[in-house]
Amino acid sequence: MSEPITPQAWWPEASRDWSADERQLLAQLDPGRLPAHVAIIMDGNGRWARQRGYLDRIRGHEAGIDSVREATRTCAQLRLQVLTLYAFSKENWRRPKAEIAALMELLRRFLIAERDELMDNNIRLLAIGSLDDLPNGARAALDETMRLTANNTGMKLVLSLSYGGRDELVRAARKLVAQHPDPAQINEAAIDAVLDTAGLPDPDLLVRTRGEMRVTNFLLWQIAYAVIFVTPVLWPDFRRRQLLEALADYQRRERRYGGVGQSTAPRG
């Protein structure tokens, strides 16, 4: 039996302020087997607002910002390579115009307000999706925040904005046709190179909140071998503890990639 992990071995400095339960969960983790890339489907903002009697769903989205901040900070402290958050889907444009406008303004303010947090934690911001769909204010704030953090060398925070997995694959197919007129040249590596996530490792762990057992058109190509963790917790209530539970569950799984025992990922 291996020796227990001690705080001096790898725990983030900030964990001194974590709760006893969080530190106990942290002690269960093997730092050598943490996922390189965690992706999260942030679900339950509207239900959270309704449960509290709010007539405006945006109150749930506002509350969810604290969850975004804590998940991002914790993943950076644990030295994960990539955290991808499903922030706004291609299908979300079908929502009422007033709600969309409020969400885009909330996104704009978030991107500006979090710049110091990103810089302090050496986090680089990236975005995937049909970004030209975003209104000018949100797009300008996104571009500026990405520019300001471009030289950060720590974790990459990827926001999925106006994103849909099928839409991404359609856009990728058009690029493939233009770049590879000979179909024999098209292989998995060629497809990887034209996806929105080109250059990033595939997600090792996909987390979904609100208990829904579906992937909702998110990173359809990239999650082929991902471990999926579903929690009933609504996104605004998702905190460090739930993230650590997801990481612990990930480490209890065996990823075989179609084989019969422990194996190395075929791609990533």
Residue 268 has what pLDDT? Answer: 47
The mean predicted confidence, pLDDT, of the chain is: 92
Asked about 17 being catalytic, the answer comes back as no
How far apart, in whole angstroms, are the C-alpha atoms of residue 117 and residue 96? 31
Residue 257 has what pLDDT? Answer: 63
How far apart, in whole angstroms, are the C-alpha atoms of residue 50 and residue 60? 8
**Long-range pairs for 145-151: beta carbons < 8 A, 24 or more residues apart:** 145/111, 145/112, 145/114, 145/115, 145/118, 148/115, 148/118, 148/119, 149/115, 149/118, 149/119, 149/123, 149/124, 149/125, 150/124, 151/124
Q: Tell me the mean pLDDT in the region 4-11.
A: 56
Q: How confident is the model at residue 55 (pLDDT cuts 50, 70, 90)?
A: confident
Asked about 43 being catalytic, the answer comes back as yes
- Of the two residues 237 and 1, the one the predictor is more confident about is 237
Among residues 169, 112, 171, which one has the least CA distance to residue 138?
112
**Could you read off the pLDDT of 111-170 as tens digits, one per residue?**
999 999 999 999 999 999 999 999 999 999 999 999 999 999 999 999 999 999 999 999
Q: How confident is the model at residue 7 (pLDDT cuts 50, 70, 90)?
A: very low
Residue 13 has what pLDDT? Answer: 79
From 17, 21, 30, 43, the catalytic residue: 43
Residue 1 has what pLDDT? Answer: 40
Residue 8 has what pLDDT? Answer: 47
| Domain 34-166+203-251 class, CATH top level | alpha beta
**Could you read off the pLDDT of 63-110 as tens digits, one per residue?**
999 999 999 999 999 999 999 999 999 999 999 999 999 999 999 999
Residue 11 has what pLDDT? Answer: 79
From 21, 45, 66, 92, the catalytic residue: 92
